[in-house]
């Protein structure tokens, strides 16, 4: 089974939290709590990857954590980073 762990960044906002993945351009979400935002991001990544598969586009490989930290720069107070695992075989089977 192919699996990648995508880095996500969760940042506090005035109304809760927002999240994005530096490897998946435009894949973002929000939530009222960190846990809700993480779950929403897991779903957003799954939908994002399903769309890539449906369109015959390549699935981007995640970059190394050290490269990501350099890309993100200084994390603000209250910002979290996490990894969201994705199993491409399962996604591909769902889209077939």
Domain, as residue range, for 27: 3-95
10: nearest Cα among 88, 85, 84: 84
Render pLDDT for 24-39 as a digit per residue (tens, 0 to 9): 999 999 999 988 998 9
Q: pLDDT tens for residues 42-61?
A: 999 999 999 999 999 998 88
CATH of the domain at 36: 3.30.160.250
pTM over 0.75: no
> Long-range contacts: 61-64, Cβ < 8 Å, 24+?
61/4, 61/23, 62/4, 62/5, 62/6, 62/7, 62/23, 63/7, 63/22, 63/23
Q: How many domains does the chain have?
A: 1
């Amino acid at each position: 089974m192919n699996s990648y762990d995508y880095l996500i960044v969760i940042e506090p906002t005035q109304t809760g939290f927002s999240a994005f993945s530096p490897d998946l351009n435009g894949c973002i979400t929000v939530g009222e709590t960190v846990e809700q935002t993480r779950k929403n991001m897991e779903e957003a990544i799954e939908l994002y990857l399903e769309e890539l598969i449906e369109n015959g586009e390549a699935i981007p490989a995640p970059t190394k954590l050290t490269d990501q930290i350099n890309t993100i720069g200084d994390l603000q107070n209250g910002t979290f980073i996490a990894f969201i695992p994705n199993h491409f075989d399962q996604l591909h089977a769902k889209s077939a």
